[in-house]
Amino acid sequence: MALKIVFAGTPDFAVPSLRAAMRHGDVVAVYTQPDRPAGRGRGLQASPVKLEAVAAGIPVLQPETLRDQAARDALRALQPDLMVVVAYGQILPQKILDIPRLGCWNVHASLLPRWRGAAPIQRAIEAGDRETGVCLMQMEKGLDTGPVLLSQKLAIGDDETGGELHDRLAELGAQTLSDGLELLLAGVRPVPQPQPEDGVSYAHKLEKHEAKLDWSQPATVLANKVRAFHPWPIAEAEVAGERVRIHAAEALPSMQRAVPGTLLAASRDGIDIACGEGMLRIHDLQREGGKPITATDYVNARRGLQQAVSMPRP
């Protein structure tokens, strides 16, 4: 007899896990966020999970809340064995968690208890973490506090962006979920391991204002922000009097003592900006209203930029 699964998810990150759930059980319904205005025309746009479910012929439910009796009755009528939740976008109340026979599983993109919360992928890069991973967690009322059923680790690449790590963790999350479902199908329930009390950190939601770089910070901090905030919200800063968005950069040591924000060099190698410690070499950037370009093209487009380079202090 097939495992009856209800899946709850919304963004691209959840799509591989939805596919894994479909391979290992009977997904009787998919919950996702209501269609939201998007794009220049602000027309209603379906979530990636909804599009995947519709293509597979799975019924889709999009309640504004799961906190009322109607929502509980609708879920109970499905008689699910298990609810799988991946970046759904709503907190599930205890009365919802109690309905599936086997409870609710969550795929979370960090090694819990580090980076509980909304933006674990970006916060790991921003903090300079060398390692992250995925946890399959038995959900409880707290925010990402439930016991861990399975986990897998993943090294973060030196130049890896938030978008690149997102894609790798989405696939790793689907694989971890598959491992857990295969155990269930074999008659083995993964053993819940309580999260340790030490090492708890919270990955707060990304805000657009965070993308503004402060040149007084160390270059390593700024380079991590550039990676973490790509593809959204994209780091931005002032370079020789012009506001630009920075798509790729690296932190380098510098022997020059200059005021943070000073233009130190502008060449085909990159655009070097003095920081609180070291310097940030910008490789790809974007002018107002333009497309991302290389530092070489930027230098060629801004005549006189090289003449604006500040000489080192004696």
111 annotated binding-site participant: yes
Residues with Cβ within 8 Å of residue 149, at least 6 apart in sequence: 105, 135, 136, 137, 138, 180, 190, 191, 192, 193
- Burial call 185-223: b when 16+ CB within 10 Å, e when fewer: eeeeebeeeebeeeeebebeebeeebbebebeeebbbbb
Distance CA 279, CA 264 (A): 8
Residues with Cβ within 8 Å of residue 79, at least 6 apart in sequence: 4
Count of C-beta atoms within a 10 Å radius of residue 48: 17
Supply φ then ψ for residue 251, to 5 degrees: -90, 135
- For residue 231, is the peptide bond before it cis, meaning its omega torsion is within 30 degrees of 0? yes
- For residue 233, is the peptide bond before it cis, meaning its omega torsion is within 30 degrees of 0? yes
110 annotated binding-site participant: yes
112 annotated binding-site participant: yes
**Annotated binding residues:** 110-113
**Annotated binding residues for (6S)-5,6,7,8-tetrahydrofolate:** 110-113
